[in-house]
Structures are given as C-alpha cells and as structure tokens.
Amino acid sequence: MSKKIFLVLILTLIGLFISCENEPLDPGVLDSSNNGGNPTCQSCELSGVAVEVCEGTNGNAFVSGVDSGILYTTYIDAFLATGGTCQPSTGDGNGGGSGTNSFFCKIDGLEFNPSLIQGLQVSVGGNTTLNIVGTILSTNESIGFSFPTTIVEGDYTLDSVPTAGSITAQYNNPAENIIGHVGNGSITITLHDTGNNRITGNFAFIAEPFINPGDPTFTITEGSFDIFY
C-alpha cells in the first residue's frame, strides 16, 4: 500500500463528514450487480471512527456517499491493513430519514453551498456514530461532522483527535490539496429528534491541518444544518 493511499485513507476518516436542498446519492452510481440487487457496502471502523464504504459502478469506494477516488478493493484492504475492521452492511449510501436537508456556512467569508448533503448512522463493533457531511461533487470539497448518536441538545467543544464518543469536524478540498483539516471550535445542537432521525445545529470553527497544525487555516463561520439521517 502506498503512503499516499494510507494518508488519504486516514485523513478521510478523521472527520467523517449551505442553503441547498438535499440531493440524495443516485443509486445508479453504486454497484449492485454482485449483491442480489443491493449495493455492495461494508461498515468499517478505525480508531473509534465508523463509516460506511460502498462500491461504485466506477469501481471506487464511496465513503459515506462520497467518491473517495480510491478503488473499493484497495480502500478495504488499506482499512484492514491499518488495523481497522469491516463487516458487510445493507446500506444504500444515504441516510434513512425522510425530509429536506440543508447545510450552510462560510469559509473565509465565502459561501459554501454543497450539491450533496447527507446524514448517516454507522455501527461497527458496538460503536455507533452519526456522520453528517456536505459536499460539492464537482470538486469533492466537503465539510463534515461526526458525533455519538446519543448526542443531545446543547453546546459542545469540537475534539481535534477522533476517539470513541468524540465530536469532530473536518474540512477537505482535494482540488486545492487540502485534506484532513480538523476543526477547532464549537457546535450547538439545537434539536436531535431520534424518533424522526432529524438533527439541527449551528457551528463555527477554525480548520487546520491534522499533521502540521497552523498552516494554512480556514475560518468557518455562520454554520447551520438541518439534516435527516
């Protein structure tokens, strides 16, 4: 496994993770030819962070609904080689809630408006997380959060290192070679309706590199989300 693939894999998992209507992941991009008409997906966990990985018709791994740009088999092999665990799941690459999603924020004063907004519960090895992410599909620029499914309304400080039960944020912009910028700031959960699988909140944070904190950094402000998962 190359160092590049290893780095991309690790940093992709760190955060897993806008005024725009939700655009669900098109089932046509997931490969269902070898699994009885269902997408081929696995629930994977590494260092306390859980994600759903599905195989796309292009052969790539779709991580929580986003094309990683890495072959599915290579991604799973890398996951296992780095000490992670994977098991088959019956996901569809989207969350299970029903409703219109929204996600908005500004990055250094510029509006961030993703074309794909998702919420997803993933359970691996007894650890369940709730991941939400907004992605501009044309560039794969994304902002995402990961927190326990038991999170309740209140104010929280973001954790810079993902562990079981942590609340993390991540900013990625592969087109600008920005991968794995973790959030240093706060998030307020204003509603978590577990009966209807809906979560809303506000956030603001400074995104900085996970490996070399401090350069460059990005200021995320005026953040809000209303997501069904």
For 8-65, write each residue's pLDDT tens digit: 444 444 334 322 333 344 444 565 555 455 567 887 776 555 677 888 888 888 876 6
Measured distance CA(97)–CA(24) in Å, rounded: 11
Q: Does 120 lie in the same domain as 77?
A: no
My answer on whether 138 and 59 are in the same domain is no
Q: How far apart are CA 192 and CA 200, in angstroms?
A: 7
Q: Are residues 20 and 73 in the same domain?
A: yes
| Range 200-206 average pLDDT | 96
Among 89, 115, 143, the domain boundary falls at 89
| Lowest mean pLDDT segment, chosen from 90-104, 126-140, 184-198 | 90-104
Q: Does the predicted TM-score (pTM) go above 0.75?
A: no
Is it the case that residue 94 has pLDDT exceeding 90? no
pLDDT of residue 124: 62
Percent of the chain with pLDDT over 90: 26
Does residue 54 form part of some domain?
Answer: yes
Structural domains counted in the chain = 2
> Using CA atoms, how far apart are residues 186 and 136, in angstroms rounded to an integer?
23
Q: Does 70 fall in a domain?
A: yes
pLDDT the model gives residue 16: 41
Query: What pLDDT, on a 0 to 100 scale, did the predictor assign at position 139?
Result: 81
Q: How far apart are CA 85 and CA 91, in angstroms?
A: 17
With a cut of 60, say whether residue 5 has pLDDT above it. Answer: no
Q: Do the beta carbons of residue 64 and residue 16 sit within 8 Å?
A: yes
Give the amino acid at 103: F
CA distance 210 to 153: 28
18 within 8 A of 141, measured Cβ to Cβ: no
Evaluate whether residue 94 is within a structural domain: no
Whether 7 maps to a domain, the answer reads yes
Residue 198 inside a domain? The answer is: yes
129 shares a domain with 55: no
Is pLDDT above 70 for 70?
Answer: yes
Q: What is the mean pLDDT of residues 92-118?
A: 79
Last residue of a domain, one of 89, 113, 134: 89
Burial of 87 (0-12, 13-18, 19+ CB in 10 A): exposed
- Say what the pLDDT of residue 92 is: 45
Residue 227 has which token pair? 């997501």
pLDDT score for 11 = 42
Taking only the tens place, the pLDDT of each residue in 139-174 is 888 899 999 999 999 999 998 877 778 899 989 887
**Quick one: 71 and 107 in the same domain?**
no
Are 110 and 220 members of one domain?
Answer: yes
Of 89, 120, 153, which closes a domain? 89
Question: For residue 96, is it within any domain?
Answer: no
Any domain includes 97: no
Q: Do 120 and 37 share a domain, yes or no?
A: no
Q: Is residue 95 part of a domain?
A: no
- Please say if the pLDDT value at position 67 is more than 60: yes
Write out the two tokens for 41: 């997906």
Clarify whether residues 219 and 142 are in a common domain: yes
Q: Are residues 107 and 83 in the same domain?
A: no
Burial 52-79 (b: 16+ CB within 10 A, else e): bbbbbeeebbbbbbbbbebbbebbbebb
Does residue 167 share a domain with residue 126?
yes
Residue 82 is part of which domain span?
Answer: 3-89
